[in-house]
Structure 1
């Protein structure tokens, strides 16, 4: 009799665990309007913001070095990770863009940052991004299956690891 009761309790407990649904919210980008003066991560000082270089100057500097630490760059945000706000793309004057991730995933940005001018402070480097990683970011950006399937070669690009991002005029 006791064995039957234990079996029934064990069965009910196991069934409950198997069919229980987690009530976990999907992560999403932080709320906010990304107004001039707002910053994410470490605040970028006014002095640093005033001495920010263009993406083109960064590209020139990276011709002679593989990596530049403590660099401050100004540009326009062209894309923001819609899932978490964990990466952005910044437009260059020649129409290309470069990819920015947040250092140690310590902060995220709102999707409202798209189209805004920002100053980034952190580390820039030349990198080859794998096909798998490129496809991952394309999926995050909600690209079509055809666009994702068209990615078939690694990309040589500037990658930026931001300590801080500040919205500017």
Structure 2
């Protein structure tokens, strides 16, 4: 009986110590890290709509409509006076005029050409002539270009409470 118990114990020990080299199949997905500089409220880039998709939302909106959103796009122009506004390309020939909530922060003046993530409120408004001329002057327009502004303009706008600048 002792021999049987000993044989069973040795067999059990050998079976339980057996190394299974079978490893579950895994698929490695390489996630590329993107570095951002954060300005304003702390945000992330999760669920940000590409500019082209945001353009579709703007086209469906009327003057006075507002929607909370997050978008990613390329900066075309920045206020050269103090960075208090910027224009972002919608990839369809249109632009979004971006201002910053409560003027709590400003953008670097050399931001044109860089990608940004905006968080805040998208809306459509009608910009009066004097305001358009003010923005044109801040943007470095010539006196002739400023004088050519003579009618209110329907504008796609965005009030950002947080911005990520892609490095």
Deviation at 1:86, TM superposition (A): 0.5
Pair 1:144–1:72, CA change in 2 (3 A): same
CA distance in 2, matches of 1:90, 1:113: 11
Unaligned runs of 5+ in 1: 1-34
What count of residue pairs does the alignment treat as equivalent? 131
CA distance in 1, matches of 2:166, 2:46: 10
Matches within 5 A, 1:1-169: 36-45=35-44, 49-62=45-58, 63-64=60-61, 66-69=65-68, 71-168=69-166
Larger Rg: 2
* TM superposition outliers: structure 1 runs of 4+ over 6 Å: none
Deviation at 1:55, TM superposition (A): 2.6
Unaligned runs of 5+ in 2: 1-33
What is the root-mean-square deviation in Å for CA atoms of aligned residues? 1.7
CA distance in 1, matches of 2:111, 2:38: 10
CA distance in 2, matches of 1:88, 1:36: 21
Whether the 8 Å CA contact 2:51–2:72 is kept in 1: the answer is yes
CA distance in 1, matches of 2:56, 2:89: 16
1:13 corresponding residue in structure 2: none
CA distance in 2, matches of 1:64, 1:97: 15
TM-score, normalised via structure 1 length:
0.72
Deviation at 1:92, TM superposition (A): 1.5
TM-score, normalised via structure 2 length:
0.73
